[in-house]
Structure 1
């Protein structure tokens, strides 16, 4: 197995070092190539890079998450269009957006960056603040940047600043039917 799958994790400590535009776009380019149902590519990214844009994001991110993500130089909201180009409901929009997030996260790791996706945000407030139309689903806010030192976090967060374990494969698969 390629080591990129084992090396990628979601730290909470970030430095405020800016991410060059071409590097950030390489992450988006990787996500662009993710597969999607009927090649609809329903995912979109709303990016916050300036202090003002990040402050707008902080207004809808849970305070416990702002405490650690406020140093990240890039915040990104992953959304997906729930309607296909033909005007019908897209049953795979969330699945497709998740695949794009995975590609983005792996490319960030390849570029020496770290990412941390968070579900702790107020989607209604985000929709209002960022003027997102009703036919888009909001999935996650993603912090992107260079990994910071563990000691920059609160004691409580320092305890959690380690890669998470994984379930054994035997717990993930079932043979022929649900067991």
Structure 2
């Protein structure tokens, strides 16, 4: 397992959820094997989706591969400072139209659920995942020749956490900081009943 930052939650959660966090320090010598990768993608494959449309699409890339370098080049500068140490950069995309050209309005939501399932499976396998929105979607689409109906959603850095990895000080400080979340009652829309102890 990677270094624990398990949180104290208002109510008990499954340990995989309470312990999940998004490190930037990765072991540059670690290789994600095919069995682990298949398990991650299998977890994503069984996520729920509107009408079982399964709009998620994935491009797994490992260090040393051209596609890994292309994804790295498209990352925001802050992410390029640490993400190339990950064992894998996994492009997660949503197919926004079906084969008949009909729009899939929930494709990005469904794809997010698939990514969430993958992240929980990674936690189970002792792997770390950091999800990134900081990347140039147009550059990814062009460099990887994605169809117009496939929209990049996120890039996942996946690998083994290395708490000793060298990071810029501002990022290292964030690695050490405790995990925080807004109070639950601030997330409820007007009209919702208060949740008492859980709030």
Task: Map Cα deviations across residues 34-86 of structure 1 (whole Å, 9 max, x no partner).
Answer: 00000000001111114133212112111210111111010011101101344
Task: Map Cα deviations across residues 92-133 of structure 1 (whole Å, 9 max, x no partner).
Answer: 000000000100000000000000011111111100111101
Distance in 2, Cα, partners of 1:173 & 1:98: 21
Partner of 2:195: none
Q: Is the counterpart of residue 3 in structure 1 residue 15 in structure 2? A: yes
Distance in 2, Cα, partners of 1:66 & 1:80: 23
Q: Is the counterpart of residue 119 in structure 1 residue 128 in structure 2? A: no
Task: Map Cα deviations across residues 108-162 of structure 1 (whole Å, 9 max, x no partner).
Answer: 0000000001111111110011110111111111100000124521211111114
Partner of 2:182: 167
Query: Which protein has the larger Cα radius of gyration, Structure 1 or Structure 2?
Result: 2
Task: Map Cα deviations across residues 10-52 of structure 1 (whole Å, 9 max, x no partner).
Answer: 0100002001110111010000000000000000111111413
Distance in 1, Cα, partners of 2:56 & 2:190: 32
Match of 2:146 among 115, 125, 132: 132
Partner of 1:84: 98
Match of 2:52 among 32, 39, 63: 39
RMSD, aligned CA: 1.5
Q: Is the counterpart of residue 103 in structure 1 residue 100 in structure 2? A: no
State how many pairs are aligned.
177
Q: Check conservation: 1:18, 1:145, Cα contact below 8 A.
A: yes
Match of 2:107 among 93, 97, 100: 93
* Structure 1 gap ranges (5+): none
- TM-score (structure 1 length as normaliser): 0.93
Q: Check conservation: 1:151, 1:158, Cα contact below 8 A.
A: no
* Structure 2 gap ranges (5+): 1-12, 193-199
